[in-house]
Structure 1
Amino acid sequence: MDLRTAPLAPPAASLAASSTGAPAASLAAAPDDSLEYDGSYSGWLCTMAELLNLRFHAGLPEERLPGVCRPGQQTDLFGSRVPVDNDPDRAERCYQRLLARLGSDCLERLQQAWASDLGAANGLSLDSALARVLRLAWAEGATALQRLDAPAVIVVQKAITRSCRELNLFKGISRFAELVDGSLYADIQPACDVIGWLAEHFAARFPGQRWILHDSGRGRACLHQPGQALAFLEGFSVNPQDLRHSAGELVIQELWRQYFDTITIAERANPRCQRSFLPLKHRYNLPEFNAVKGGQAD
């Protein structure tokens, strides 16, 4: 996924001056302090630029580098939070430098880890573990992700696994519904921030159709128009009752529910087993488990 156009990374991202753009923003951060960014991917890249400058240009030893956190995240009891500005231009420069040094595969793996819902593991927060792995990769190259002797790498690999599993799950259970104007709409609520990869998947599957993929939990959406680049929208919301399904969509949903009920063998019903394969939290947008959401066709 192109991080510069994905919703996780608004156009722009980088390292400071020689390595990442400008000299580190003179952040007087102590080891117990944490660099706090706004939770966006471009904000994270700006924070990585600061840390790489502190480590490789200011010469700060690894053990004296500050941690990394997002708003609301718990940090060291005796440390303070040092805010890092989200500078899209700097983030773009950081992205390009990392891309040249680490390669697209390694950089995408790091983004997959960042997109995970993993909070902490092995005594490390995900953001702090990512920062350590990125510094390791900057020094050793992309093979740093194979250093399973490093606790931070193990945390990052766990995060990557969670994101990839969530992505594969939603490739299968995302349901598009046809609206009266002929466009398609899908509501998803993944635990991990995978809408960018999902959008690329569905753009390849439905290249000739207009659709919206809506991560309602995060207020993000991706708009696909045939022959145009994917458009990512922030702060997107829609009232399900305002969605007007086409007559054909309502027929298809009802036929699917009938099929689902008909093939069921009542004597072998096992709700607990069914929930182990498809948890209740993922059934909100599946017609076989729910009545039609939204308005009916006029």
Structure 2
Amino acid sequence: MRIYVCEDRFEGILCGIYDAWASGLGHANVRVQVRRTQTLELFAEYTEVETDPAKAEKVASSVRRKLSEDIYVNLYKTAMSCAPDKADCMYRYLVRAFAAGPGIVQMYQDPAVMRVFEICRNVGNETHLLLQFIRFRQLPGNVLFAETEPKNYQLTLTAPHFADRLPDENWIIYEKNHGQAAVHEGGKGWFLARMGEKEAGRLRDRAGEDGYEDLWQTFFETIAIEERKNPLCQRGHLPLRYRGTMTEFQREAWNSRRKKERKDEIDVCIGHSRVGDLLPEDGGDLQRGTGGQADPAG
């Protein structure tokens, strides 16, 4: 068995498919694997694949010309997945497709076709959710900044949506777990860029306090009907893994600001007396005395 190890991006996988097909060893004797999921096996020969734009273009143009645009889209979505077997799934899918023709997309009884369908569905479902859950923050210089933590590589699937709806805005969407960002300049196009946690941290620090965040969190807190709260139903529509980057679920910062506001309100009500300083930091109740005298119960 010869395993072709390629770069974990669409063009890299297409180059791996090209080299595996051109090897002439037979489809049963080769496999394509992305570099990040490489696990060494006994009795297997590993071949590193260099990403060559010319090879990738040959494969892409052949798929579009001889098969269909739907098959090309399926391949692209599969490449954006976090599935460790995605590269070989794409290879097996193309082997079946060039043998059966464009109608392969409906042949779900074929294991290779079904596997690609499952991967595409997973990627598409996450894209659909992210378009609703992405939250932007205002940075100095009229720049919008959003953070996400998707399982799959979603920037090339979500960025066109926001470029179409926010064409005149400057915005950045940062994928924390993948170390990359989509950057859009108002009136122009968008592009992908590498971004580490250090650079993202500087952007977070620049955001500072935003009154609109407070308004949104207050709205989210007060709009709910207490008797109809259903956390289980909410988790079904909004999984927990998306909430870390959503403004309305950043409860700790919100509660801290509300505690400070309540303390300030009490200070004002008692005429700026020092009683307000007696408020415990944990938000508990004050121990009541008797007119400034020692408590007999003490």
Counterpart of 1:155 in structure 2 is 115
Bigger Rg over Cα: 2
What does 1:17-36 align with in structure 2 at a 5 Å threshold?
32-36=1-5
Cα drift, residue 283 of structure 1:
0.7
Cα drift, residue 292 of structure 1:
6.0
The 1:88/1:166 distance shift into structure 2, 3 A limit, reads same
Counterpart of 1:41 in structure 2 is 10
Alignment partner for residue 243 of structure 2, among 277, 283, 289? Answer: 283
The answer to whether the Cα contact below 8 Å between 1:175 and 1:285 also exists between their aligned partners in 2 is yes
Scaled by the length of structure 1, the TM-score of the pair is 0.76
User: What stretches of structure 2 of length at least 5 have no aligned partner?
Assistant: 255-298
Q: Relative to structure 2, which stretch is displaced further, 181-190 or 130-139?
A: 130-139
Alignment partner for residue 86 of structure 2, among 117, 126, 141? Answer: 126
**Equivalents in 2 of 1:191, 1:169: separation in Å?**
12
Alignment partner for residue 231 of structure 1, among 172, 176, 191? Answer: 191
Alignment partner for residue 212 of structure 1, among 172, 197, 207? Answer: 172
Alignment partner for residue 264 of structure 1, among 224, 228, 235? Answer: 224
What does 1:1-298 align with in structure 2 at a 5 Å threshold?
32-54=1-23, 58=24, 60-64=25-29, 66-71=30-35, 72-74=37-39, 76-119=41-84, 125-237=85-197, 238-240=199-201, 242-243=203-204, 244-245=206-207, 250-290=210-250
RMSD of equivalent CA atoms: 2.2
**RCO higher in 1 or 2 (8 Å CA, sep ≥ 6)?**
1
Deviations 1:133-191 (A, max 9, x none): 11222233322222222111111110010000010010000111111211111111111
Cα drift, residue 76 of structure 1:
4.5
Cα drift, residue 69 of structure 1:
1.2
**Equivalents in 2 of 1:226, 1:278: separation in Å?**
30
**Equivalents in 2 of 1:101, 1:246: separation in Å?**
53
**Equivalents in 2 of 1:99, 1:285: separation in Å?**
38
**Equivalents in 2 of 1:227, 1:129: separation in Å?**
39
Deviations 1:264-295 (A, max 9, x none): 233444433332322221111111111569xx
Q: After TM superposition, which residue ranges in structure 1, 4 or more long, deviate above 4 angstroms?
A: none
More helix by share: 2
The answer to whether the Cα contact below 8 Å between 2:81 and 2:123 also exists between their aligned partners in 1 is yes
Aligned length: 250
**Equivalents in 1 of 2:90, 2:203: separation in Å?**
41
Equivalent AA in structure 1 for residue 155 of structure 2:
I
User: What stretches of structure 1 of length at least 5 have no aligned partner?
Assistant: 1-31, 120-124, 294-298
The 1:88/1:62 distance shift into structure 2, 3 A limit, reads closer
The 1:41/1:236 distance shift into structure 2, 3 A limit, reads farther
Q: Relative to structure 2, which stretch is displaced further, 75-84 or 39-48?
A: 75-84
